[in-house]
Amino acid sequence: MCNQQVQSDIHDLFQSFESEIQEIIQESPSIDTATERITRLVSSKLTTETEGYIVDIYTALTEQIRKEEYFQDPEHLNAFYRLNLRDEMNEKYHFEIDNLDTYCKGIQFREINQLYMTAGAAAGTLAVGGVLKFALSGVVGIPFAIIIAGAIAAALAAFRSVPQKNKKNYELAVKKYLSDLENDVLDWIIEVEGYFQDKVRTLYTQN
């Protein structure tokens, strides 16, 4: 099970978004501008922090198996390191934050939504948790930051060109979606932890 510290860190991160997002909504001249700014804020910070969560889980797993009798054998321990689980996670999700700027250059912001829809079609679901989990079993080909950005853009698409007088409804919708996103990210982190453990279990059957 995902350790309590990681769960707490995820919750604290989403709590920290609240005041920043409220300020963005109040200062933005339009709903579209607010959505773009919120999307960039959440996707960039979440990507950076999530990479750290993955490292924490991997480090905890490494410490755990190094205590096991089976991995006292250097050959068995080396087999674990050869799994390159951290590199595999980066290959699947491309956590580098500059990916967001790279994807945004030369394309319209609304196209991020289409990229997410494409990933959702491949995963068979438009739920961000489902898309993230799908990338564990197959290569989605879209960086983590873009998956998050696309999910937010898709969730708030109904508010495009909405009059400013509906800002309060928009703010409530943003808060509701971020609450759902927090749960999806936590579920996905637990899934990643299970994926790591499944990979380790394969080592016991190889000898």
Quote the strand ranges of 80-119, DSSP E: none
Question: Is the pLDDT score of 1 beyond 60?
Answer: no
| Average pLDDT score over the chain | 82
Q: What is the C-alpha separation between 100 and 183, in angstroms, rounded?
A: 23
pLDDT digits (tens, 9 = 90+) for 20-42: 999 999 898 888 888 888 988 99
Question: What's the average model confidence in pLDDT over 68-90?
Answer: 91
**Is the model's pLDDT at 185 over the cut of 70?**
yes
H/E run at residue 147: helix 144-155
Residue of 165 and 143 predicted with greater confidence:
143
Whether residue 113 contacts residue 154, with contact meaning beta carbons closer than 8 Å, is answered with yes
Quick one: pLDDT at residue 106? 45
Question: Quick one: DSSP state of residue 81?
Answer: H
Measuring CA to CA, how many Å separate 177 from each of 42, 121, 138, 205? Answer: 12, 21, 26, 43
Helices (H) and strands (E) in the chain, counts: 9, 0
Residues near 79 by Cβ (< 8 Å), separated by ≥ 6? Answer: 203, 206
Asked whether 183 and 191 are in contact (CB, 8 A), the reply is no
**Does residue 2 sit in helix, strand or coil?**
coil
- Give yes or no for a contact between 147 and 95, defined as CB atoms under 8 angstroms apart: no
81 confidence band (pLDDT: 50, 70, 90): very high
